[in-house]
Amino acid sequence: MDGFIQIITNINNAVGNFVWGVPMLVLLVGTGILMTIGTGFFQITHFRHWFSKTIGAVFTDRDVTAHTGKHDKSISQFQSLCTALAATIGTGNIAGVSAAIVSGGPGSIFWMWIVSFFGMMTNYSENVLGIYYRRKNSVNEWCGGAMYYLSDGLGAKKGCKTIGKVLAVLFSIFCTIAAFGIGNMSQVNTIASSMKIAFGIPAVVTGAVLMVLAGLVIIGGIKRIGAVTEKIVPFMAVAYIIGAFVVVFAHAGQIPAAFAAIFRGAFAMRAVGGGIVGYGIKQAVTWGMKRGVFSNEAGLGSSVMVHSASNIREPVVQGMWGIFEVFADTIIVCTLTALTILTSGGVDLATGAMISTAEKTALVSESFSTVFGHFGAAFIALAILLFAFSTVLGWSQYGMRSFEYLFGTKATIIFRVVFVAFVLIGATMDLSLAWELSDTFNGLMAIPNLIGVLSCGATVLAITRNYSDRVLHGKDITPMYSAFPEIQAMQEKKN
């Protein structure tokens, strides 16, 4: 058995090194750069507009938060955001940021910002395409995602029908497998470990309770998931942000030095721990970008599957929710996590070298404990519980939609039952390999998705111009709601 695991590990390492090599990171960031330039730096030039149409609209537009009718299978815009954030705001925001600083130094946070800035427009493009190419399944639910704009977008181009179908199937396979790793076992294992350390609760007990809770929500489908996440996500995000702000401002004198360490380390004026300068740059860039993508998932094509279930008509409006998703996840939550670590004494800010011997979630717990004492560790354990459990709920939807594309709507109950069973397995097993496999399948998902985004980039730009001309400049032109005439006509009737 040990020999088999070693073989799998070696294969995974080889594939992972290829997937997360320089070409992959260039493809990820390059896609975001192209879409940013193509849309005229939409995330900056239209900041006020997209902010008012997303989180601002939560307080001013009842339609954004209003629940859909009993027989309507779609969810509200706010529920789609909360479900997407449920999957993205997870252990990556705590353990992932810690791992980036430990392995890549403070400079990795700068590169996390960079990949997130351009990732906003990658996520925007995914969501625009997701809405534009979505369709209804046999039970009248909206289904959208990378597999649909690969098969119906890329596949509609001359000579690309087969490659579009093949890439759609590959994406669905990679996403289904990844759902059990990044979206299930890895998250639950982190919860079980935190509960055991903080409260002495056995892993099997944590796993059993989480399995029951997950089953009650997941078996109920997207509407029940949306109803739960819209309550969990705002609470957990606000509570964590307030706690992090308290820690950072308690060490306010270290804030300038923390930012200086981030910018200095980003370009390795002095390498991490005093090593070779070039190697220090490579580590900072690689870890910052990997953890950034792991955290906000821009480029993976995952969250678009939930965004596509929204009751929205305008692809661009749902795209703007994608911008806010990345902004909230990385620019706000991940940055606060980084500052709690850097300002609380765990890192030598002059050299970028680690002082603390703690890693991952323990490093953040240690930072919170400098202000909150023993309650700090308990607070982080509870935060991880909510963050990771909500991630399980969000990824159950991603895996289910991918499974549905491969095997049909009726087969999704099989996926849901197996997915829930794996919650208990994840809590009670040593999952060091699962974490590594998660990174690999994340990268494998990104390849076909980014091919789809790039090949359909002109469509994104056309839809964006159409929206801008109609909404911002008052032109009387036909909206671009859908690639399919019957859905386009249905959405136009709602005007």
Q: How many CA atoms lie within 13 A of 360 on its CB side?
A: 11
Residues 6 or more apart whose Cβ sits within 8 Å of residue 330: 112, 113, 116, 119, 292, 295, 296
Establish if 50 belongs to a structural domain. Answer: yes
The model's confidence at residue 67, banded by pLDDT at 50, 70 and 90, is low
- Residue 4 above 50 pLDDT? no
DSSP string, 351-368: T--B-----THHHHHHHH
Q: Do 329 and 296 meet the contact criterion of CB atoms below 8 Å apart? A: yes
Establish if 208 belongs to a structural domain. Answer: yes
Instruction: Kindly state the greatest CA–CA separation across the chain.
Output: 67
Residues 6 or more apart whose Cβ sits within 8 Å of residue 470: 476, 477, 479
Q: How many CA atoms lie within 13 A of 129 on its CB side?
A: 35
Establish if 252 belongs to a structural domain. Answer: yes
Establish if 12 belongs to a structural domain. Answer: no
Query: 305-340 in b/e burial notation, b at 16+ Cβ within 10 A?
Result: bbbbbbbbbbbbbbbbbbbbbbbbbbbebbbbbbbb
Give 310's strand partners: 75
| Distance separating alpha carbons of residues 215 and 149, to the nearest angstrom | 30
The reported pLDDT for the residue numbered 18 is 55
- What radius of gyration, in Å, describes the C-alpha atoms of the chain? 22
Using DSSP's 3-state secondary structure scheme, residue 347 falls into: strand
Q: What is the dihedral of CA 141, 147, 150, 152, to 10 degrees?
A: -30
Establish if 172 belongs to a structural domain. Answer: yes
440: domain CATH number?
A: 1.20.1740
Averaged pLDDT for residues 398-421: 88
The reported pLDDT for the residue numbered 85 is 64
The model's confidence at residue 451, banded by pLDDT at 50, 70 and 90, is very high
- Residue 274 above 60 pLDDT? no
| Distance separating alpha carbons of residues 304 and 121, to the nearest angstrom | 13
Q: Which residue has the higher pLDDT, 77 or 165?
A: 165
Max mean pLDDT range (35-49, 51-65, 307-321): 35-49
DSSP string, 126-144: HHHHHHHT-EE-TTS-EE-
Q: Which of 97-106, 249-258, 276-285 has the lowest mean pLDDT?
A: 276-285
Establish if 8 belongs to a structural domain. Answer: no
Burial class (CB in 10 A: 0-12, 13-18, 19+), 359: middle
Give me the domain span that covers residue 156: 18-489
Establish if 142 belongs to a structural domain. Answer: yes
Q: Which two tokens stand for residue 141?
A: 């639910």
Establish if 495 belongs to a structural domain. Answer: no
Number of domains, the chain? 1
Phi, psi of 267 (to 5 degrees): -110, 10
Q: Do 341 and 367 meet the contact criterion of CB atoms below 8 Å apart? A: yes
| Distance separating alpha carbons of residues 61 and 57, to the nearest angstrom | 5
Task: Tell me the whole-structure pTM to 2 decimals.
Answer: 0.85
Max mean pLDDT range (184-193, 265-274, 345-354): 184-193
